[in-house]
Amino acid sequence: MLENPRSARVRAVAKLAKRRNRDETGLFLLEGPQAVREALDYRPDGIVELFLTPTAAQKHTDLTERADAAGVALVHTSEQVLESMADTVTPQGVIAVARQFPVRMRDVYAAAPRLVAICEQVRDPGNLGTIIRAADAVGADAVILTGRTVDPFHPKVVRSTTGSLFHLPIALGGEVADAVTAARAAGLRVVAADVKGTDLLAARQSGALAQPTAWLFGNEARGLDDDVLALADEALRLPIYGRAESLNLATAASVCLYESAFAQRTGGRTAGHG
C-alpha cells in the first residue's frame, strides 16, 4: 500500500497535470473508472501503472480483473495519496499513468477518411474533450489539432472525452494550412463552421454534406481568422431561431458533425429531396 503523499513516486504522478512534465516524460494522467476502463479495453499496453484505493478496488472489481488480464501493474493507495495525485477536487479513487499516443496527420489521411474534425486554436480543454467525444459518437475517422490548440492529454480534456480519446486517432502538431491541403488531396471537402458562413440548412437540402468532409472549427472567442476561412471550400453557420446570442463551440461542432454523419448515411437525402 502506497501511503506517503509526499513520496517522490506520488509527486511524479501529480506533476503530470502540467504540460511541461507531460512533454518531458511522454506520459499523461487518467482519472476515474470510466476513462481507465476504456484505456484497459482499447490501449492496455499503454498503461504504465494503475492506482486504486481499497474502496475503489471493492467497488470496481472489473478494473482489477481487466488490469490482471492485461498484465498492468496495480498499486493500492491510501485516500490521501490518491487525492495528492489527482487533478480533480473529489477524485473517484482510480488513477492511471499512461503513455501518450499521438498520431501523424499523414497517417490519418492515408486511411481514406470520410469525416474528420480539424480544430484550429481551440483553447478550452472542456470544449476539445467534448468535440473528441462527439467525433467518436458520430463515427468520425479522426480529430486533427492544429495551431495552438490545447494539449489533448491535458487532464480536463481526457476527462471530458469520457474514454473517447482511446477510440479514434488524434493527430497534433501541424499547421492548419497543411491540414487543409492534405484533406483536399485525400478527397475531402473542407467546410468551415463560422458565423459569417451561409445557412447550414441550405447545404443539408443540397446534399453537399453527404460528401467526404473535413469540418474546420476555430477558437472559442474569435472563431476562424479570415485567412484560415479563405482556405475552406465553404463556410456554414448554424441558424439560431430563438433568442440565444450564440452557441458554445463544442455544441455547434457536435451539431455540424452529426449533420455530416446523417447525410453520409442517407446519401444526402432530405425531406422533399432524393
- For the record, the C-alpha cell of 75 comes out as 498499486
CA angle 254, 136, 69 (to 5 degrees): 150
Rg over alpha carbons for the chain, rounded to the nearest Å, is 20
Check whether 173 has a pLDDT greater than 90.
no
Half-sphere exposure of 228 (CA within 13 A, CB side): 24
pLDDT of residue 267: 76
Predicted confidence (pLDDT) per residue in 122-163, tens digit: 999 999 999 999 999 999 999 999 989 999 999 999 999 999
Distance CA 230, CA 228 (A): 5
The residue ranges of DSSP E strands in the chain, in sequence order, are: 27-31, 47-52, 74-76, 94-99, 115-120, 142-146, 170-174, 189-199, 213-217, 234-237
Residues with Cβ < 8 Å from 71, sequence gap 6 or more? 44
Q: What mean pLDDT is predicted for residues 239-252?
A: 93
Q: What percent of the chain has pLDDT over 90?
A: 90
pLDDT band at 272 (very low <50, low <70, confident <90, very high): very low
**pTM of the predicted model, to two decimals?**
0.93
Are 89 and 127 within 8 A, CB to CB? no
Average pLDDT, the chain: 94
Instruction: Give residue 100's Cα distance to chain centre.
Output: 13
pLDDT band at 270 (very low <50, low <70, confident <90, very high): low
Burial class (CB in 10 A: 0-12, 13-18, 19+), 61: exposed
Predicted confidence (pLDDT) per residue in 192-239, tens digit: 999 989 999 989 899 999 999 999 999 998 999 999 999 999 999 999
pLDDT of residue 56: 96
Are 99 and 165 within 8 A, CB to CB? no
Are 120 and 222 within 8 A, CB to CB? no
pLDDT band at 269 (very low <50, low <70, confident <90, very high): low
Side by side, which strands form the sheet with 213-217?
A: 170-174, 142-146, 115-120, 213-217, 189-199, 234-237
Check whether 271 has a pLDDT greater than 50.
no
Are 234 and 208 within 8 A, CB to CB? yes
